[in-house]
């Protein structure tokens, strides 16, 4: 059995005809040749596969492509290009937010959506109050990014990059 699925990826409709077992991650990498999104654990534990679906960050490895027919998917390729980087991409470069770079696409997709969550006033586990006034302290950034592991432990650079963008840092 194969299923036809159309995804709006980085603004363009892309169609694949694949076995229903195909995860969104495998669809992106193996069927649509978008290799920016990485596979780490394939079990929702590392965050390397993070993409943004209908505005929300999710683990592409733990969802089926066929369940997303018609959905809008943003991958790292849709956030910026080497010539025209997004603010977070630029900040990751400036702050050494990586070493090997394997987790980086997931970190940046995750952080992009995380900043929107904070803007919408979502609290986190470390927020003292459940009110709307989110201030992205380093502790808040770390907690909200806990779903993105970095085997090279570039965490200080990652937090610096995100803090910079959260505070509207210069490019």
Partner 1 sequence: MRDFDYARAGSRSDATARAGAGAQIIAGGTNLLDLMKLEVMAPEAVVDITRLDLHEISVVEGGGLRIGALVTNSDLAAHDVVRRDYALLSRALLSGATGQLRNKATTGGNLLQRTRCFYFYDTAMPCNKRDPGSGCHARDGFNRILAVLGTSDHCIATHPSDMAVALMALGASVEIEDAAGDVRQMPLNDFYRLPGDTPHIETVLEQGDLITAVLLPKPVAGRQIYRKVRDRSSYAFALVSVAAVVRMEDGKIASAALAFGGLAPKPWRNAKVESALTGKVPSDDLFGQAADILLADAVGFGANDFKIPLARRTLRAVLRQATEATQ
Ligand X SMILES: Cc1cc2nc3c(=O)[nH]c(=O)nc-3n(C[C@H](O)[C@H](O)[C@H](O)COP(=O)(O)OP(=O)(O)OC[C@H]3O[C@@H](n4cnc5c(N)ncnc54)[C@H](O)[C@@H]3O)c2cc1C
CA distance 170 to 34: 30
At 78, which helix (H) or strand (E)?
helix 76-79
5 binds ligand FES, rule: CB under 6 A: no
Residue 101 binds ligand FES, judged by CB under 6 A: yes
Based on the shown chain and the rule CB under 6 A, indicate whether residue 150 belongs to the binding site for ligand FES: yes
Which CB contacts under 8 angstroms, 24+ apart, belong to 7-16? Answer: 7/65, 7/68, 7/69, 7/70, 7/71, 7/72, 7/73, 8/70, 8/71, 8/72, 8/73, 9/34, 9/73, 9/74, 9/75, 9/78, 10/73, 10/74, 10/75, 10/77, 10/78, 11/78, 16/65
Binding track, positions 107-136, relative to ligand FES; x by CB under 6 A: ------------------------------
Task: Pick between residue 32 and residue 62 the one whose CB is nearest to ligand X.
Answer: 62
Minimum distance, C-beta of residue 45 to ligand X, in the bound complex (Å): 4
CA separation for the pair 147, 159 (Å, rounded): 14
Which of residues 46 and 79 has its CB atom nearest to ligand FES in the complex? 46
Q: Does 141 bind ligand FES (CB under 6 A)?
A: no
Residue selected from 14, 30, 31, 44 as contacting ligand X according to rule CB under 6 A:
44
The token pair that represents 6 in the structure block:
């159309």
Q: Given the complex with ligand FES, which of 57 and 165 has the nearer CB atom? A: 57
* Residues in binding contact with ligand FES, number by CB under 6 A: 23
Residues that bind ligand X (CB under 6 A): 44-45
- Which residues lie near ligand FES (CB under 6 A)? 39-42, 44-49, 59, 61, 98-104, 150-152, 154
């Amino acid at each position: 059995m194969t299923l036809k699925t159309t995804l709006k990826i980085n603004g363009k409709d892309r169609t694949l005809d694949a076995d229903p077992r195909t995860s969104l991650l495998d669809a992106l990498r193996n069927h649509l040749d978008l290799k920016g999104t990485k596979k780490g654990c394939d079990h929702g534990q590392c965050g390397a596969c993070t993409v943004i679906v209908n505005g929300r960050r999710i683990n592409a490895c733990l969802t089926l492509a066929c369940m997303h027919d018609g959905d809008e998917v943003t991958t790292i390729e849709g956030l910026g290009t080497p010539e025209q980087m997004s603010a977070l991409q630029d900040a990751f470069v400036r702050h050494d937010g990586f070493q090997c770079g394997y987790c980086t696409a997931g970190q940046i997709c995750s952080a992009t959506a995380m900043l929107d969550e904070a803007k919408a006033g979502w609290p986190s586990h470390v927020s003292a109050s459940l009110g709307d006034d989110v201030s992205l302290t380093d502790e808040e950034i770390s907690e909200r990014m806990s779903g993105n592991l970095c085997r090279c432990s570039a965490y200080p650079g990652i937090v610096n990059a995100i803090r910079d963008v959260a505070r509207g840092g210069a490019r």
